[in-house]
Structure 1
Amino acid sequence: MTSTTTDQAATGPEDGSGDLAGRLAATVAHVRGIAPPDLFDVFAAEQRRLADAPEPPAQIRVGDRLPQSHLTDHAGRPVAVPGDGPAVLVFYRGAWCPYCDVALRAYQRELLPELTERGVRLVAISPQGPDGSLSAAEAAALTFPVLSDVGNGYARMLGLTFDLVPEVQEAQLAFGNDFTTINADGDWTLPRPTVVVADAHGVVRFVDVRPDYTERTEPAEVLAAVRALG
């Protein structure tokens, strides 16, 4: 499910120009301009709280080996993660999130060509069901796999999840985002936006977790990590 407000936020400032941080800052300004001030203040307080929270002790780190799992694509087909060979895993909140939309478009445009050339898989992972994955892929014209992590099972194993507190749940509902229908298992848990680069053996060589979900990993950082794989 994607709200009208989220659609406007996603399509307003995104023009493909500038670095990702600049486009995300424009998206924040756009959301501020169209959102009721009381709701925007709730989300801003959430961003500060998440940014100031201590790092979860189980969070994935460089040198760790990623667990093997199977997630489902938009058609419900199982996809091995991380699979065989090097991979870039992008954890995002969902198709309803304007900041995710901006980031996924950037990764499609600025990462995928070189990753494909180097034989590195790119996959995006969220707790949405297959319909939500399809919405994300179609909205951003993505040509890489967009997978459903039901119950945030894989993200939980990596220590990337957080629960939405009651006031944020109420604000999201007012914004048109009901996670009892958006998330595949109907809970109010999301992954922190994260990019993981793993080598051919599934060993993490780069990880960037963004507690503030209005920030995302720059494509240049990901490409540098991929090139370092050799």
Structure 2
Amino acid sequence: MSLKKQIDAYNVQKEAKLPSDVLALMEQTTNELIAQHIKNKALQVGAKVSNFSLQNHNDEHVELADLLNKGPVIISFYRGNWCPYCNLELKALNDYLPQFKTHSAQLIAISPQLPDETLTTAQKNDLEFNVLSDINNKVAEQFGLLFTLDERIQALYSQFGIDFEKYYGDKSYKLPLPATYVINKRGIITYAFLNEDYTLRAEPIDVMAALESEQY
């Protein structure tokens, strides 16, 4: 089943579960975020990515340059393990990992979560790739993905029991736009999927096609 079909199925459940005013607020704030055109200012295909080093879920430092020495790198920026859309995407990418590896591609996921929560993400989803903690969103900011969650959604998520201080160590409510990139061995972005609508995610098959389209 494609990731889109999985998300569509989840959306049906969500719409049946949540009150109409809550759904309306989610849609309104998403449309307002779309109107900010954040993705237009973020890194796009053809851009050179600066090196970075982050801690993974096993308390090890992972450096982009080291990964690129082995092959192309796939990066998935996600919001947190409390986000069902993120979990669906990470699992879908994990399922494609054997195919990514046929092109010597390294897959990493990045969020501003604290290391303990990053470990929870990896364990909960049985992920077999590096899940990195971007504390204070330094790498997300480098990619131009950073935004501040709307105050109305902050309050709503609090009602849902999502404790941002627990997940991120602060209450800045700054998150990255969910985004998926493919970076070739030269550090150049060859594929980019990003959208202010957090319910839209890259299809792993499209990521695979991006790997197949270039001679690395």
Task: Tell me, yes or no, whether TM beats 0.5.
Answer: yes
> What is the TM-score when the length of structure 1 is the normalising length?
0.86
Report how far residue 186 of structure 1 moved: 4.0
- 2:75 is the alignment partner of 1:89: yes
Alpha carbons 1:162, 1:190 under 8 Å: kept: yes
Number of residue-to-residue matches in the alignment:
212
1:118 aligns to what SS in structure 2? coil
Q: % of aligned pairs identical?
A: 32
Which residue does the alignment assign to 1:199?
Answer: 184
Superposition map of 1:6-45 within 5 A: 18-45=1-28
Match of 2:85 in 1: 99
- SS, match of residue 40 in structure 1: helix
Q: Structure 1: where are the runs of 5+ without partners? A: 1-17
Q: Is the 1:92–1:126 contact (alpha carbons within 8 Å) kept by the matching residues of 2?
A: yes
- Residue in structure 2 matched with residue 167 of structure 1 by the alignment: 152
Amino acid at match of 2:207: V
> Could you tell me which of 121, 139, 153 is aligned with 1:154?
139
Q: 1:133 aligns with which of 112, 115, 118?
A: 118
Q: Structure 1 residue 225 and structure 2 residue 210: aligned? A: yes
Q: Distance between the aligned counterparts of 2:144 and 2:45, measured in 1?
A: 13
TM-score (norm 2): 0.92
What is the deviation of 1:135?
A: 1.4
Two-structure CA RMSD over aligned residues (Å): 1.6
Quick one: structure 1 residues 204 and 184, their matched pair in 2 at CA, closer, same or farther if it must change by over 3 Å? Answer: farther
Distance in 2 between residues matched to 1:191 and 1:202, nearest whole Å: 21
- Letter of the 1:66 partner, please give it: V
- Identify the residue that residue 163 of structure 2 maps to in structure 1: 178
C-alpha separation between the residues in 2 aligned to 1:62 and 1:184? 32
What residue in structure 2 maps to residue 108 of structure 1?
A: 94
- Tell me how far 1:184 sits from its aligned partner: 4.1
Is the CA contact 1:93–1:190 (under 8 Å) kept in the aligned structure 2?
A: yes
Deviation at 1:117, TM superposition (A): 2.0
The CA deviation at 1:19 is 1.5
Check conservation: 2:54, 2:133, Cα contact below 8 A: yes
Unmatched 5+ residue regions in structure 2?
A: none
Partner Cα separation in structure 2 for residue 19 and residue 196 of structure 1: 19
**8 Å contact 1:42–1:171 — kept in the other structure?**
no
**Partner SS, residue 202 of structure 1:** coil
Q: Structure 1 counterpart of 2:75, which letter? A: L
CA-CA distance at 1:34 after TM superposition: 2.5
Asked if the contact 1:115/1:121 (under 8 Å) is kept, the reply is: yes
Paired position in structure 1 for 2:54: 71
